[in-house]
Structure 1
Amino acid sequence: MAVPSPQRAPAPVRHSARLLDLALAVITVVGVVTGVMAAEVRESPWAGLIPLALFLGGLLLFRRRWPMTVLLLSIAAIFVYRFNSHFQGGWIWPASAAYFSAACTPRVRWVALIGVAQLVYAAVDLRWVLPDGVGRFVVHIAGEGLVLAMLIGAGLVCAAVMRWRAQLRETDGRARAAEERLQVSREVHDIVAHTLAVVGVQLNVAADALEEDPAEAAAALRVAKDVRNRAMADLASLIGVLRDNAGGAAPQPDLASVGTLVADARAAGLQVVLDERGDPSAVPAAPAVAVYRIVQEALTNTLKHSGAGQAEVTIDCGPSSVTVEVKDDGRGGGEIVERHGLAGMRERVSALGGTLTVGPVSGGFSVRAQIPVAGSPV
């Protein structure tokens, strides 16, 4: 089975990583030259010191791709320099960045093993100082060991942080995917429920009038066909978005499309009055889509469940909020059961920071929502 390639990091992240690698390379070059010169090495720096520093620094430019290779080559270069010079200033610290980079990988146990092996060799190599004092020997080896432990510990912490960030990104991605699925399910429910309600009414009209009034039956079928075509266009738009082809998707409905919903409801036999106040064009896209879907779901419920003959749709576009209310004269009593439709409306309004009120009123049933615009509180 083919293994998927890792997702490429964004350009700013890659640029920052390259700058960090370059900074570590420069610090390594300067640090190695300064540290060795401070040890009072009498050879000319160009005899081996500067080439060593440049080699160690240059290797760090490849530390992300081949961290273990960079570490082994760094240690080999230090061995070569130590064998050809009188420098006795340490084995571990010149390869600090290489040790840290390798310790950030899952092969941290190998890094520790390599470091311990280098420390053992350093202890053997430094045995000549024992006659002059055990303290110097212990301090030197203990210092090297402490540096190694700190580098490996820092690498482990860095690796843990990177894993935590990856898990956080994965969790955020799953949450976004779940929210997108929920949004799509709401859209599909609203489209399909409205279409079935209107088409069902028109088919009943056509069936009743087929023999006595063929013209009325034909008109009802034409309305059903138009509603069905619009629903198919809306579903095609959603599928286009799901396929990451937003450029070919139809635009989302807005307040200008509410009139179509009212016309469909009127064609289904419901007397609907539309009252629009304020400037609909000033309402942002997200609240406008929410208002459209609320009107769509409320009129669908009126046609399917209430037995109402009249309904009034009021949309008030204010400077800080938009208010929509759909009120009918149907059966307003009884227990309210929030299924997908009402739950979807409540989720839409809540996501935009608004409030939704659903319940019976004098002589009917009302759905009322108030949604802030331009970030204004309700």
Structure 2
Amino acid sequence: MTFGLWRTLPDRGDNAVMANEERWVSLQVGAAVLTWTVVTGFVLYLAHENLRLGVDVPLFVGLAALNLVTTLLACGDRWLSRRWRQLLHAVGGVAVLAAAWVAPVSFTPIYTIVWLAVACSLYPTRVLWWQLAGLTVAWLLVMQLGWGYDADTAVISVVLYGTFHLFALLTSRSAEEASRARDEARFLNRELLASQHLLSEASRQAERTRIARDLHDMLGHHLTALSINLQIAERLAEGAAASKIAESRALARLLLSDVRDAVSTLRQDSAVDCEQAIRLLVDQVPQLDIHLDIQSGLQIEQFEVAEALLRCVQEALTNTLRHAAARQSWIRLWQSEQGIHLEIRDDGVGGRHLAEGHGLQGMRERLARLQGTLRLETSGQGLCLHAQLPGRAAGS
């Protein structure tokens, strides 16, 4: 977003791209502060040079400063919820209109151009149009009742500055939509990377299992037959020949033991690395700080279980980003005697009016096919999701 001062910028692994976006955010916020400083400076200069304006300087400075502080805080989506940011933004709008009332200077509507641009990251388009209409009416009243303009002059001024407000709304809204589209594309890219990793793990698991099976079924059986034949030959032979056959039989038994150890190792190491897939999915999710806690050394033996866990995390994060207005999410994955557990909770508002959609229904169906369960808890402010699947982790 154009004025997202503390926004958590997503990353596709390209540090240069992230640094460039951070630089633009800083420049945009700096431009907003510079605009406020220039407008305030000129108002104070005119108030000093033309006492007939009747500007109440202390009151104007206090109201203008309140507008600046609340507007900047309204950009702080990392620490403040959307509801608090909207409240601060509204206070800033009232403050700037009050400042304009006590400072009858024709270019003070520039303040609300910046204010409306910031609003594009806080409200849907429909609300923004109502805000534009409300600002138009408010400035008409300020100019006529507060500044003493006649009707024609007030209308001309409002129409003139209204076009600037319209331009700011359209450009800022366009930038906000483009930013959200980039965020969604990056999140989808993370989903793709996680899925690719999981498929790669499944392919590796299948190949190791095939190799282990072939070693056991072919080489193992042949070595067993060879050992039996050598045992028979040892009984039939005499002297030096019997001694050599016994040595060969011992070597065959040793080789068979080595093959069985290799087969066991291949099967034990065929677990799916679910942890890395989840880390790829949650890395630098836009506008959300994720705290990931995965039991050390936890690996999943079945690909279907690993895929179900990954899809649960994916769907939960998608719902959090779209509906919960959360700032933080906690993901915990561990194994116990009862099975494998996945817990996902956030600090958003989605738990207050929970309505299960197709995503949660699909999650329940996916878990049910694996004899798993899904439990939702809405106590407190956020939503807590707990999924449990039967079975044990690899090596347990």
TM-score by length of 2: 0.50
Q: Does 1:177 align with 2:194?
A: yes
Residue 181 (structure 2) aligns with: 164
Residue 130 (structure 1) aligns with: 150
C-alpha separation between the residues in 2 aligned to 1:162 and 1:129? 41
C-alpha separation between the residues in 1 aligned to 2:32 and 2:141? 30
C-alpha separation between the residues in 2 aligned to 1:72 and 1:243? 39
Cα deviation, residue 25, structure 1: 5.7
Q: Does 1:27 align with 2:34?
A: yes
Cα deviation, residue 125, structure 1: 4.2
C-alpha separation between the residues in 2 aligned to 1:97 and 1:34? 16
Cα deviation, residue 196, structure 1: 1.7
% identical equivalent positions:
12
Verify the 8 A CA contact 1:199 1:227 in the aligned structure 2: no
1:203 to 195, 214, 220: 220
Verify the 8 A CA contact 1:105 1:159 in the aligned structure 2: no
Verify the 8 A CA contact 1:115 1:148 in the aligned structure 2: yes
| Equivalent residues, number | 240
C-alpha separation between the residues in 2 aligned to 1:158 and 1:174? 24
Q: Decide whether aligned partners of structure 1 residues 63 and 119 sit closer, same or farther in structure 2, where only a CA change above 3 A counts.
A: same
Q: Which has the higher contact order (CA 8 A, sep 6+)?
A: 2
Q: Does 1:141 align with 2:152?
A: no
C-alpha separation between the residues in 2 aligned to 1:86 and 1:185? 69
Q: Decide whether aligned partners of structure 1 residues 17 and 69 sit closer, same or farther in structure 2, where only a CA change above 3 A counts.
A: farther
Structure 1: which amino acid aligns with 2:258? V
C-alpha separation between the residues in 2 aligned to 1:82 and 1:163? 34
2:96 to 78, 83, 99: 78
Cα deviation, residue 158, structure 1: 1.7
Structure 1: which amino acid aligns with 2:69? G
Greater shift, 162-171 or 121-130, is seen at 121-130
Residue 321 (structure 1) aligns with: none
Residue 36 (structure 1) aligns with: 43
C-alpha separation between the residues in 2 aligned to 1:174 and 1:237? 17
Q: Which structure would you say has the larger Rg?
A: 1
Cα deviation, residue 183, structure 1: 2.3
Q: Does 1:61 align with 2:66?
A: no
Gaps of 5+ in 1: 1-6, 250-378
Cα deviation, residue 155, structure 1: 2.3
2:59 to 25, 45, 48: 48
Structure 2: which amino acid aligns with 1:161? A
Gaps of 5+ in 2: 1-6, 12-17, 78-83, 232-248, 280-293, 299-396
Structure 2: which amino acid aligns with 1:147? F
Verify the 8 A CA contact 1:192 1:231 in the aligned structure 2: yes
Residue 302 (structure 2) aligns with: none
Deviation sequence 1:89-129 (CA, Å, 0-9, x none): 25642132221111233433223213312312332444454
Structure 2: which amino acid aligns with 1:225? R
C-alpha separation between the residues in 1 aligned to 2:115 and 2:203? 53
Verify the 8 A CA contact 2:63 2:98 in the aligned structure 1: no
C-alpha separation between the residues in 2 aligned to 1:74 and 1:242? 44
Map 1:350-369 → 2, pairs under 5 A? none
Give me the CA root mean square deviation. 3.9
Q: Decide whether aligned partners of structure 1 residues 154 and 70 sit closer, same or farther in structure 2, where only a CA change above 3 A counts.
A: farther
Structure 1: which amino acid aligns with 2:267? M
Q: Does 1:225 align with 2:289?
A: no
Verify the 8 A CA contact 2:119 2:128 in the aligned structure 1: yes
Map 1:301-316 → 2, pairs under 5 A? none
Map 1:87-102 → 2, pairs under 5 A? 87-89=104-106, 92-102=109-119
Cα deviation, residue 143, structure 1: 1.3
